[in-house]
Amino acid sequence: MHDMTVTVDAQRPAPNHPLGSEAQATPPYHAEPTAAASPTPMQQAHEAATVPVILRHVADTTSRTLDRGEPLYLQGEDAGSTYVVEAGLVALSLNARPDRERIIGLAGPGDLLGALTAGQLEYLESAHALSHGVAIRTVPIDQHATVDGSGTPVLTAALSHAAGEHLMRLTRLLEDSETPVPARVARTLLRLGERFGQSLDAGDGATHGTHRVRLTLPLTHETIANMVGAARETTTSTIEQLRRKGLVQGTRGRYVLDVVGLADFAHDATAASLAS
């Protein structure tokens, strides 16, 4: 039994992926516009997960574009804004060690970052652009209240969801700290496939009885090493091992993942570590 599942939609338009037309994925928030008519309560709950609706319920926002490597905010700075990623990929990291960045997660189109909870005084992590042309919409925290007050539940629901995602990332970091590096690498690839991957059907190169996901992101071995908290050399060795086993195909940020095989590999690596 494994706790990794992939729920991507291969038919979702490519613009929802951080790299635009280069790949396809289904983000937590769908960026398609929604009707302006007053929704029923159930419809409003659904619309809380859409970027246009979120932005429609705040009084003022500003846009900016980041180049690759450019910081959005730094851990410990005063938390003055919530940020919505409209395009591109953002890395979230902790200042755990002065000699190594620890990436706790990647954010793509529709994700909310920065100030996520009421009374948050400082940013809990750092954020920088991992791809070129990252488009960001800035929502100052004093704009969290809407013009007429009617949209507060919409933004509150989106912020609550984003805060939950952040808590999940930290929980996974803690869980992974008790597992060997090979298991961490496999789990990280699975999670990236779940969030950003494109599911392949039999006609796209998957063999019968397997579940394969195409993952196209600007991922270097150094980036993956920073995500799993390991040396780059160890991470590279693990990826080569996964490649030899046929669990990962491709290179330079363009991978095809064997979901079931990676889950089995992570489970077996963890079990072997506990038994030794």
Give residue 110's region: left, alpha or beta (phi > 0; psi -120 to 50). Answer: left
Rounded mean pLDDT, 265-273: 91
DSSP per-residue string spanning 81-110: EEEEEEES-EEEEEEEETTEEEEEEEE-TT
Calculate the alpha carbon distances from 102 to 69, 82, 85, 126, 186 in Å: 15, 22, 21, 10, 17
Mean per-residue pLDDT of the chain: 79
Provide the 10 A C-beta neighbour count for residue 164.
11
The residue among 147 and 39 whose pLDDT is bigger is: 147
Write down the pLDDT at residue 141. 86
pLDDT category at 53 given cuts 50, 70, 90 is: low
The residue among 32 and 225 whose pLDDT is bigger is: 225
54-99 pLDDT, tens digit per residue, is 677 677 789 999 999 999 999 999 999 999 999 999 999 998 777 7
Name the β-bridge partners of 103: 93
Residue 276 pLDDT more than 80? Answer: no
Distance separating alpha carbons of residues 262 and 276, to the nearest angstrom: 21
Distance separating alpha carbons of residues 196 and 113, to the nearest angstrom: 17
140-172 pLDDT, tens digit per residue, is 888 775 444 444 677 788 888 889 988 998 898
- How many percent of the chain have pLDDT more than 90? 51
pLDDT category at 200 given cuts 50, 70, 90 is: confident
Domains, the chain, ordered by start: 31-175 (2.60.120.10), 179-275 (1.10.10.10)
Name the β-bridge partners of 140: 81
Distance separating alpha carbons of residues 104 and 92, to the nearest angstrom: 6
The residue among 87 and 41 whose pLDDT is bigger is: 87
Write down the pLDDT at residue 253. 83
pLDDT category at 122 given cuts 50, 70, 90 is: very high
Distance separating alpha carbons of residues 245 and 263, to the nearest angstrom: 13
Give residue 183's region: left, alpha or beta (phi > 0; psi -120 to 50). Answer: alpha
How far is C-alpha 114 from the chain's CA centre? 14
**Could you tell me the pTM of the whole model?**
0.77
